[in-house]
Structure 1
Amino acid sequence: MSFTIDHVNKSFAGLEVIKDLFMQVEENQIICILGPSGAGKTTLLNIISGVIPADRGKISGFADKNISYLFQEHRLLPWKTVEDNIDFVLKDKISLKERKRIIAHYLDMVDLTAFSAYYPSQLSGGMKQRVALARAFAYPSEILLMDEPFKGLDYHLKRTLREAFIKLWQADKRSVFFVTHDIEEALLMGQEIYVLTDRPATVKGKVPNPIPYYERTRNNSALQRIENEIHQLLSSRV
């Protein structure tokens, strides 16, 4: 099965944000959408999720799919515990016994089992984002939309969260659309990297990244070649 974003266009009050954007991707891949800040990447995610319609063009493969989200902000409910924050997205969908099992499983995956009864105010920023990761994977979705969830974090925290994400995804694969303006992040996360122009956003090119995750290091010559290809696309004219 594949997902298609077929020559999509979107404007707001006469300002063209997305222009003739085309993507076709296979399911259960991590797709990185790389482009400068303000280039329409979040708008594209909103079209994929159905929050807003495209002006022209169409998308296919997304209908009737459950979607979960991971944002830059953790968006945890401050009056609920870690366990209850995850349970909140599962209620009315799954039995209590099964919810307990799912919550315990994902908290264990992100090494937060001991903090299940804590409130967000009692957690560090990195721990809150790990709870958000666990919640996004606990929700029974086929598609995960990630809108620069590691932006503004220090290097070591980014690395911890990336590793937690890859661990979760490899255990429970789903289709991921990961928005970033960070080339290194795209190289370390994406299996396919779509390079966008500045606004109005269109696709400059697609760069496959078949390198296994455990081999994606700065001294890997193959990864360096992929990085050079991305830089060439970013510097080229459409």
Structure 2
Amino acid sequence: MFLQMNHVGKTFTDQDQQSSFEVFSDIDLSIAENQFVSILGPSGCGKSTLLSMVAGLEKATEGTITLQEKEIMQAGPDRGMVFQQPSLFPWLNVRDNVTFPLKGTMSKKEANDRADHFLKMVHLSRFKQNFTYELSGGMQQRVAIARALAMDPKVLLMDEPFGALDEQTRHILHDELIKIWQETQKTILFVTHSIQEAIKLSDRVVVMGTRPGRIIADFTIDIPRPRQRDHQEVIELEKKVMDLLEGEINKVLKEELSNEIEYSR
């Protein structure tokens, strides 16, 4: 399998080694090349931590994560990351933001040509000389996507990239992302809180539960694109996922309420 997680677990321990918190354990997940897979789940289930581990920004406490049978031990150019906030350099223009991670790997002309190609793909060609602070939030996120694609990663990792945007902009970028994915055929691992977003974009939706974090469902979505929210198949799948998540969310709320009552005594 292209991207493979075998019995992966993550536990955080405080500096004094006095207490620990298990985020998740025994995660098994296989992702094929060119698949678009969304990870969906309530806050605290570990989905962003899992994505960071695939990126090589966090280390697994147990188990292994492999890409093309090579274990992931650290960050690398074969994985591109897009965060919820674009994390752009405000002192650089749009094109220079895209070429920044390419420095030292190719000539300046080659880097500029590659940046121009992906800026055209995200419809930002005429803004390449603008500073990023002059752009809207949605445009900044498109710059971040172009920057990640310019590195030509094998896997594009996206951690709630549209979560901070208004609904209209989010829907526009959904359509853009699908076009980009179809053109580049990248493998995409996408973290979201939105059931609608996951169903609209993905080939598969992996649902995680919490306390402890674990995979509770893996839906293959064979609904033809473009997918409209009022399509009967979309409505039925959304209800199935919501029913699963409601139980997990209620579990978290009950636990937090119990802790508050205990603390107040």
Superposition TM-score, scaled by structure 2 size? 0.84
Larger RCO: Structure 1 or Structure 2 (Cα < 8 Å, ≥ 6 residues apart)? 1
In 2, Cα distance between the equivalents of 1:104 and 1:54? 37
1:224 aligned onto 2:230: no
TM-score, scaled relative to structure 1 = 0.93
Provide Cα deviations, 1:171-220, integer angstroms capped at 9, x if missing partner. Answer: 11111110111111111111110000023210001001122322x00121
Q: 1:109 — aligned with what?
A: 121
- CA–CA distance in structure 2, aligned partners of residues 119 and 227 of structure 1: 40
Cα deviation 1:6-49 (Å, max 9, x = unaligned): 12111112111012111112111111000112221111012212
In structure 2, how many angstroms separate the alpha carbons of the residues matched to 1:97 and 1:28? Answer: 29
Q: Which residue of 1 aligns with 2:158?
A: 146
Q: Which residue matches 1:126? A: 138
Name 1:93's counterpart in structure 2: 105
- Aligned partner of 1:3 in structure 2 is 3
Q: Distance in 2 between matches of 1:199 and 1:97?
A: 51
Alignment-derived partner of residue 190 in structure 1: 202
1:1-238 mapped onto 2 (5 Å cutoff)? 1-13=1-13, 14-61=20-67, 63=70, 66-214=78-226, 216-235=227-246
**In structure 1, the residue corresponding to 2:243 is in which secondary structure?**
helix
- Gap runs ≥5 in structure 2: 14-19, 249-265
Secondary structure of 1:89's aligned partner: helix
SS of 1:228's equivalent in the other structure is helix
TM-superposed CA distance for 1:93, in Å, is 1.8
Question: Percent identity between the aligned chains?
Answer: 38
CA-CA distance at 1:231 after TM superposition: 2.3
Q: Which of the pair has more CA radius of gyration? A: 2
> Which letter does structure 1 place at the counterpart of 2:10?
K
Kindly provide the amino acid, as one letter, of the partner of residue 131 in structure 1: V
**RMSD in angstroms over aligned alpha carbons?**
1.8
What is the aligned length? 237
Could you list the per-position Cα deviations for residues 75-130 of structure 1 after superposition, in whole angstroms to 9, with x for gaps in the alignment? 11011000100011222223333222221111111111111100012111111111
| Structure 2 Cα separation of the partners of residues 10 and 115 of structure 1 | 42
Per the TM alignment, residue 234 of structure 1 is displaced from its structure 2 partner at its CA by 2.4
1:176 alignment partner AA: I
Structure 1, unmatched stretches of 5+, are none
- Residue 120 of structure 2 aligns with an amino acid whose one-letter code is D
